[in-house]
Amino acid sequence: MKVIPVLLAAGFGTRMKSNLPKVLHPVAGRPMIEWCLRSAEGASDVIPVVVVGHGREQVMAVLGDRCAYAVQAELLGTAHALQQAGALVQNEAKAADTVLVTYGDMPLLRTETLRSLVDAYARARKDPALAFAMLTITREDPQGFGRIVRDAHGEIAAIVEEVDCTNDQRRIRELNPGIYCFDAAWLWANLSRVPMSAKGEYYLTDLVAMAVAQGKRVLTVAAAADETDGINTRVHLAQAEAHMRMRICERHMLAGVTISDPATTWIDDTVRIGTDSLVLPGTLIQGNTVIGRNAVIGPHSVIVDSTIGDGCRVTMSMVEKARMDAGSNIGPYGHLRSGAHLGAGVHLGNFGEVKDSYLAPGTKMGHFSYIGNARIQENVNIGAGTITCNYDGVHKHETIVGRDVFIGSDTMLVAPVTLGDGARTGAGSVVTHDVPARGVVYGVPARPPGSNRAPLQNEGIEKADAAPFAARKETL
């Protein structure tokens, strides 16, 4: 048996009230259709077909060649949508004798659930009377679902869409989530015979009554109701997000990560976390982030696309596109921006910001500092209020600090500038010129002790002041 999954995803998603196609709205860090695709991929070896319509260019740009596409130009119902995949499925996957139908807006549907349907179908298919198998769910609130109508023997006789229900049928709690596993030959022979509904659409659900009328059988497989809610509004989106978040947290907890409050911990599916790490409340970990073992992340932290080593600590801080080597720590109220790299054991205290810079092991930056475009060697003490003045209004410039440097509080490092190994700056220095190894400077502009004039006739200061203003005038 060879199964080809077909995902229906042509709908408008009108109720999302969005310019983004519904199926591209993210759930726990992945576009919802990607979740659906992953589930489908897990249930078959054949590349799935996605039926696209509304916003198809955007959908195809996101999914690329992970799937094949059929286009439904006009939305004429679920049977019509599936029919659009017919030619493609019959040509390219001739050997597929089974068609698994699912949707692009059901991100919570698990591979296991799809497989249980496929397996049940596989076991029953030697019965030549079997036309297809489908999932059913039972739910207290049946609103929005087609009702499963059974005959006197308990066999499924029809699916009745909500709008067409009698009062009695409306009370039925066994419902159609819309997931089917068809015998391909039977499907393609019958799909084009589905009658047009009063609304002018073609309902996939009519295939049940058609099969029964032919003396064929439809197998139903009960599924959990919480996986098959399609997302129609942003309220549903938030509910799916909450559900998915809990699933992801559970996966990490079962793998050895302590999450003290899963309800306020948002971890994208793409994130990896090592064992014995602790994630404290109010924390978002997103994108392509990898966290090592024994790390403590949070409370109230945001980590995006970052690599955080073993034993690191991130307290009430934001870390974006940054790297923290083992044992380094930041916070509270720290910010690592793109290209920040803290070497092993580096300490960043309150209100520190680092961007595009490397701080080598043993370096400490306790309070209120901004370090940008800098390379700072081992065991440097970065005093409170140190700022790399890395931007002259036009260009970014680099600051280089050697090992064992002591930077006094409130030092401005006017880049480009280099501080040699073991250099020291006094509190409040404005360093406009390079300081040699073991050199000491203080004041504004900074100069060696005993010297009354600024070094080198302030030429660097002129450059830093005048050039950018001239350039800026031109661009204004």
Nearer to Ca ion, 134 or 248 (CB): 134
Among 4, 6, 8, 374, binds ligand UD1 (CB under 6 A): 8
CA pair distance 37, 39, nearest whole angstrom:
5
User: Do residues 139 and 145 make contact, with C-beta atoms less than 8 angstroms apart?
Assistant: yes
Q: How far is the CB of 191 from Ca ion (least distance, A)?
A: 20
Alpha helices, DSSP H, located in 107-170: 111-124, 167-170
Q: Which residue is nearest to Ca ion (CB)?
A: 230
Query: What would the two tokens of residue 449 be?
Result: 């002790």
User: Do residues 136 and 148 make contact, with C-beta atoms less than 8 angstroms apart?
Assistant: yes
- φ, ψ (nearest 5 deg) of residue 42: -70, -15
78 binds ligand UD1 (CB under 6 A): yes
Q: How far is the CB of 234 from ligand UD1 (least distance, A)?
A: 16
Residue 143, classed as helix, strand or coil, is: coil
Rounded to 10 degrees, what is the CA torsion of 308, 312, 313, 317? Answer: -20
224 binds ligand UD1 (CB under 6 A): no
Of 5-13, 251-259, 287-295, 396-404, the window that binds ligand UD1 (rule: CB under 6 A) is: 5-13
56 binds ligand UD1 (CB under 6 A): no
CA pair distance 90, 79, nearest whole angstrom:
16
CA atoms within a 13 Å half-sphere pointing along the CA-CB vector of 254:
6
Nearer to ligand UD1, 244 or 316 (CB): 244
Nearer to ligand UD1, 104 or 402 (CB): 104
Instruction: Report DSSP state, residue 390.
Output: -
104 binds Ca ion (CB under 5 A): no
Q: How far is the CB of 136 from ligand UD1 (least distance, A)?
A: 10
182 binds ligand UD1 (CB under 6 A): no
CA atoms within a 13 Å half-sphere pointing along the CA-CB vector of 1:
20
Nearer to ligand UD1, 205 or 277 (CB): 205
**Residues taking part in catalysis:** 367
75 binds ligand UD1 (CB under 6 A): yes
- Report the amino acid identity of residue 315: T
230 binds Ca ion (CB under 5 A): yes
9 binds ligand UD1 (CB under 6 A): yes
204 binds ligand UD1 (CB under 6 A): yes
Of 103-111, 116-124, 307-315, 463-471, the window that binds ligand UD1 (rule: CB under 6 A) is: 103-111
Residue 194, classed as helix, strand or coil, is: coil
Of 230-238, 278-286, 297-305, 348-356, the window that binds Ca ion (rule: CB under 5 A) is: 230-238
CA pair distance 54, 37, nearest whole angstrom:
18
Residue 442, classed as helix, strand or coil, is: strand
Among 25, 30, 80, 216, binds ligand UD1 (CB under 6 A): 80
Query: What would the two tokens of residue 424 be?
Result: 């020291």
Q: How far is the CB of 231 from ligand UD1 (least distance, A)?
A: 9
Q: How far is the CB of 121 from Ca ion (least distance, A)?
A: 23
Nearer to ligand UD1, 104 or 331 (CB): 104
Strands (E), 25-173: 26-27, 30-31, 49-52, 68-71, 98-103, 130-138, 146-150, 156-160
132 binds ligand UD1 (CB under 6 A): no
- Neighbour order of strands in the sheet with 358-359: 272-273, 290-291, 307-308, 323-324, 341-342, 358-359, 374-376, 399-401, 417-419
Among 29, 31, 107, 177, binds ligand UD1 (CB under 6 A): 177
105 binds ligand UD1 (CB under 6 A): yes
230 binds ligand UD1 (CB under 6 A): yes
Among 39, 176, 307, 386, binds ligand UD1 (CB under 6 A): 176
Query: What would the two tokens of residue 280 be?
Result: 């404290």
Nearer to ligand UD1, 31 or 104 (CB): 104
User: Do residues 266 and 246 make contact, with C-beta atoms less than 8 angstroms apart?
Assistant: no
Binding site for ligand UD1 (CB under 6 A): 8-11, 51, 72, 75-78, 80-81, 103-105, 145-146, 159, 161, 175-178, 203-205, 230
Contacts to Ca ion by CB under 5 A: 230
